[in-house]
Amino acid sequence: MQTNSDPSTGIIIKSDRSGRVRYTDEFKREVLAAYESSSLSGPDFARQCGVKYPTLAAWVSSHRRGRQLAAGKTNPTFLIAEVASSAEPSALEIRAPGGAVARVSDAVQVRLLAALLQHLS
């Protein structure tokens, strides 16, 4: 592991034998805060900060995933669909993991339910 200092910022930058740069958690937090308050695109912001765009994208993704977990929000990785006979053969029923049930029977309700689910995710 090699340690260098960025002369423009004074931030200590570590790189491993293959040349991959390692950033401190403090630096990542500062970059993420600055990115969230900027109006720049991801690639433009990464270029301005001197960070590779895939690195910035990974930090943003990890940060958002962490916020969702902290807020108790998790996106299901799969959805079980089951076809069952019922009194309303044209009804669509969705059962959420927490026990909530949504039942729709016409196209207007389907669109409203889709909007609700999109808002919740």
**Phi, psi angles (nearest 5°) of residue 105:** -135, 0
Q: Is the pLDDT of residue 2 over 50?
A: no
More confident residue, 77 or 24: 24
Clarify whether residues 59 and 7 are in a common domain.
yes
pLDDT tens per residue across span 30-52: 999 999 898 889 899 999 988 88
| pLDDT given for residue 91 in this prediction | 74
Lookup result for tokens 């960070």: 51
Residues 50 and 99 placed together within one structural domain of the fold? no
Residues sharing a CB contact under 8 Å with residue 86, sequence separation 6 or more, in sequence order = 93
Pair (81, 96) in one structural domain:
yes
CA gap 83, 78 in Å, rounded? 16
The reply to whether 36 and 85 lie within a common domain is: no
d(CA 95, CA 84): 13
Residue 100 has pLDDT above 60, yes or no: yes
Query: Which range marks the domain in which residue 52 is found?
Result: 2-70
Domains held by the chain: number: 2
The pLDDT, as a whole number, for residue 99 is 75
